[in-house]
Chain A
Amino acid sequence: MEGALDLFLQQLLNGLTIGMIYALIALGYTMVYGVIQLINFAHGEVFMAGAYLAMTALVFFGTLATPLPVWAVFAAVVLFSVVGSAALGAGIERVAYKPLRGSPKLTALITSIGMSFFLQNAVMLVYGAKEQSVPDIFPAGRLEAGPLSVSLLQGVIFAVSIGLMVLLTRFVRHTRTGKALRALAQDPDTARLMGVSVDSMIRLTFVLGSALAAVGGALFGMYYGSVNFHDGYLAGLKAFTAAVFGGIGSIPGAMIGGILLGIFEAMGAGYLSAEWKDVFAFVLLGAVLIFKPSGLLGENVPEKV
C-alpha cells in the first residue's frame, strides 16, 4: 500500500502540470480584457492552432535524416508555433475586432464566438476531423527530488511556464512598452493623449497573448500526445474560468487562477469523483462570480461586459 502522502503529492503534481497550461492560456484572456474589455472566445482556438503547429513541426523534424538534439527540436518547434499563432492572433484582431472598435461590447463578444467556430472548422478542414498523434521527443527519464518524481516533460512544462510568467511580469512592470500597455488598460483616452499608439498596443496585446497560448498549446500537445481541432473549446473555457477566478484583467491573477484551478480539479477528481471534475471547475467559477465578482486579485470595477 502506498503512502497517503505520496498519493497526495502525485495528485498535486498532476494538478500543477495542467494548471501551468491553464495559466498560460488565461494570460491571453486577461490581457485582452484588460486592454479592450473583450472576452476573446477565439483565444482557445489560437491555443489549439498552436498545438497543431507544434505537431506539424514535430512531424517535420521526425522526418529529418539526421536527428537534431532534443533541445534544438523543442526550441524550434515552440518558436514555429509561437510565430504562427502570434501572426494568427494579430490577424484575428485586424480582421475581426479592429473594424468593430467603438461599437457595442456585445458585438465584439459575439464576433469572437463566430471567430472561434470559424477557426475550429478551418483547422478541421485543413488537418481532417481525426485526432492527430503528436510525436514524443523527450526521453522517458524522470527527475527525482526526494519523494517527488516528475517526468522530464513535466519539468520542462514547469520551467518554461514559470520562466515565461516571470518574463511577462518584468516586461509589463519595467519596460516603456509595458508601461504604455498599463496606461492603455487604465484609461485609453488619456493614454492616447500621452502619445501611446492605441492600435499598435492592442495588436501587441493580441500577439503576446497568442504567443503564450501557443507555448501552452505546444506543451499541451506534447504532454498528452494527441491533438484534436476541438481541444481549444474546453481548455479555453477552463482558462477563462481561471482568468475570472484570479480576477479578469489582472496578470498575476491569471497565473494564480490557472494554477489553483488545475490543483483544485486534480484534488476533486482524485479524492472525490472524476465524473464531477468539470463541475468542480465551474462551481468555482459560479462561486467566485457570486461572492467575489472581482476575483482573487482583481480590482473592483463596475460591470463592463
Chain B
Amino acid sequence: MNSRRLALAAALLVAAAVAPAALAGDEVRIGLAAPLTGDQAYIGQCVLHGAEMAVEDANVKGPVFGSTRIRLVPLDDQHNPTQAVLAANKFVADPDVVAVVGHFNSSCTKAASTIYHESRMAQVTPGSTNPEISRQGFDTFFRVCPTDDVQAPAAADFVRSKLGIKRIAILDDQTTYGKGLADAFEKRYRSLGGEVTQRDGITQGEKDFTPLLTKIRSGKPELVYFGGIYPELALILKQAAKVGLVTRWMGGDGVAEPTLITLAGPKLAEGVYVTRLGLDPHTVPTAKDFASRYEARHGEIGPFSAYAYDAANVLIEAIRRAGSKDRQAVLAEVRKTRDLPGLLGPVNFDAQGDAIGKSIGIFQIQDGEFRFIEEARPAAGS
C-alpha cells in the first residue's frame, strides 16, 4: 500500500515536471477568417473544420520547429466586408499571428487583402474565386482554388459548344463572387456567338423571385446561367416551376452542394449543370481518407473543406521551412511553395498568387446526385 502510494506520488511528480515542459512550448498562430455566423455560416464552418483538421494533423506530428506548436485562431467575418476588415486588423495586431487562412467570400477577401498587404502577412484563401483580387498586385495574396476566369469560360464553352445552346438568360446575386462569375460567363458566351435574352440580378437573402422568373419566362431562354450560391438557386428552381418557367439551368461552384438537391427536391434539381473547382473529394484518391475522417466528425464534406485543409497546410509548411515567427520569412516561404501535396492535387502558385493547374469539373445532377460529365483544363495564358 505504502509503496504503491509512493510510486503514485513519484509518477505524479514526474508528470508535473514533464507536463509543463511539453505545454510550455511556444506557439505560433495561424488566423482563420470565414463567415462563422450570419447567412453563410454553414460554408464558413466547413472552412473552419477543414483548417482545424490540418492544424491537428500537423501538431500530431510534433512541434513545427523547436518546441513551437501551431494554434488556429478563428475570427468571424459574418460575410460582411466591414467585419472582414476588423478581423484582419485584429490578426495584424497580434504578434503571434504569422499568416491567415481566409477569407471565404470574395468581397471579404478583397476588402481585407489591403490590410494583410500593408502588414506583410501572407493570406491564403480557400474559396474566393473572383479574379479581381489577385489583379490588385498584392504579393501577400494567394489562393488554392481556381478563379472564375477559369471556371466561367469553361462553363460557357460547354453550354455553347457541347450543348449547342443559342439563347440564354443570365442571373447573378450581385455579390463580388456571383457577379464576377456571371460577367466572365457572359463575355465568353457572347464571344462564341450566343444570344443573351436577359441579364438581371437578385439580392442574396431574398426569398421571393417569382416576379423576375415570370419576366424571364417571356424571353424563352434555352438555359439560365446563375452566378450565386445554392440556397438562392434552390428557391429559384422551386419558384420557376411555380410560375411555369421550363428551361435548363447551370451554375458555378457556389451551387454545387448536395444541399441544393435536398432543398429544391430531386425532381426539380434533376438536370442542373454545375462547374466545380476541382473534383469531388470522395472520388479523388488523395482526398478520400480526409473526406471520411471529416464526415465522421462534422457531417457532409464540401470542396471548400478540402481547400481549407490545403490552404492551412501551405501555411504550416511555410512556417516549418521558415523556422521562425517572422511574418516576412513565412511570406517568402509561402511564395516558394512548389508541388505541395494537396488533397485536391499539387499546390503551386503563379506570380499573382493564383493556383496553377487546378482543373474544373463539369457535373450534372442525375437521379439526385452530382454526376461527373467532363473535365475542363484551364486554357493557357488566361
Residues in chain A within 8 A of chain B (CB atoms): 1-2, 7, 10-11, 14-15, 17-18, 121, 124, 128-131, 133, 136, 151, 220, 224-226, 228, 230-231, 233-235, 265-271, 273-275, 277-278
Contact = CB atoms under 8 A, between A and B. Distances in A.
The 7 closest A-B pairs by CB, nearest first: A129-B41, A275-B201, A270-B211, A274-B212, A269-B211, A14-B210, A129-B42
Contacts of B67: none
B217 to A, nearest CB: 8
Interface in B273-288: none
Interface of B: 37-39, 41-42, 44-45, 174, 200-203, 205-212, 214-215, 218, 231, 234-235, 238-239, 242-243, 259, 262-265
Nearest to A13: B210
A275 B202 contact: yes
Given A270-B215, A277-B203, 10 more contacts: A7-B218, A14-B211, A17-B208, A131-B231, A131-B263, A151-B242, A225-B264, A274-B211, A277-B202, A277-B211
A277 B214 CA distance: 14
Contacts of A266: 208, 210-211
18 contacts: A2-B218, A17-B210, A133-B263, A133-B265, A225-B234, A228-B39, A234-B205, A234-B207, A266-B208, A267-B211, A268-B211, A274-B201, A274-B211, A275-B200, A275-B201, A275-B202, A275-B203, A278-B203
Residue among B209, B212, B214, B259 facing the most chain A CB atoms (10 A cut-off): B214
Given A234-B206, A265-B211, A273 B263 contact: no
A224 B202 contact: no
Contact of B234 (A11, A226, A231): A226
B211 A124 contact: no
Contacts of A7: 214-215, 218
Nearest to B242: A151
Given A225-B263, A226-B231, A226-B263, A270 B206 contact: no
B171 to A, nearest CB: 8
Nearest to A18: B208
A1 B242 CA distance: 19
A7 B215 CA distance: 8
Interface SS of A by simple majority: helix
B207 A131 contact: no
A115 to B, nearest CB: 16
Interface-central residue, A15, A224, A231, A271, by most chain B CB under 10 Å: A224
Contact of B243 (A10, A129, A265, A278): A10
Contacts of A274: 200-202, 209, 211-212, 215
Contact of A11 (B44, B45, B200, B211): B211
Contacts of A273: 200-201
Contacts of B208: 14, 17-18, 224, 265-266
Contact of B259 (A1, A2, A18, A131): A131
B218 A15 contact: no
Output the residue of B37, B207, B209 with the most chain A CB within 10 A: B207
A271 B200 CA distance: 12
Given A151-B242, A226-B235, A273-B200, A133 B214 contact: no
Contact of A269 (B42, B174, B212, B262): B212
A231 B39 CA distance: 9
A107 to B, nearest CB: 25
B38 A130 contact: no
A136 B206 CA distance: 20
A123 to B, nearest CB: 11
A182 to B, nearest CB: 34
A150 to B, nearest CB: 10
A230 B205 CA distance: 8
A129 B263 contact: no
B176 to A, nearest CB: 15
Nearest to A10: B214
Contacts of B42: 128-131
Given A277-B203, A278-B203, A15 B211 contact: yes
Contacts of A220: 207
A186 B375 CA distance: 69
Nearest to A121: B37
Contacts of B206: 234, 277-278
A10 B244 CA distance: 11
A151 B259 CA distance: 25
B231 A228 contact: yes
A124 B231 contact: no
A171 B214 CA distance: 38
Contacts of A265: 208, 211
Interface centre among B37, B174, B209, B239 (most CB of A within 10 A): B37
A129 B243 CA distance: 29
A124 to B, nearest CB: 6
A151 B218 CA distance: 20
Q: Which of A7, A10, A136 has most chain B Cβ within 10 Å?
A: A10
Which of B208, B235, B259 is the most central at the interface, judged by chain A CB atoms within 10 Å of its CB?
B208
Contacts of A129: 37, 41-42, 44-45
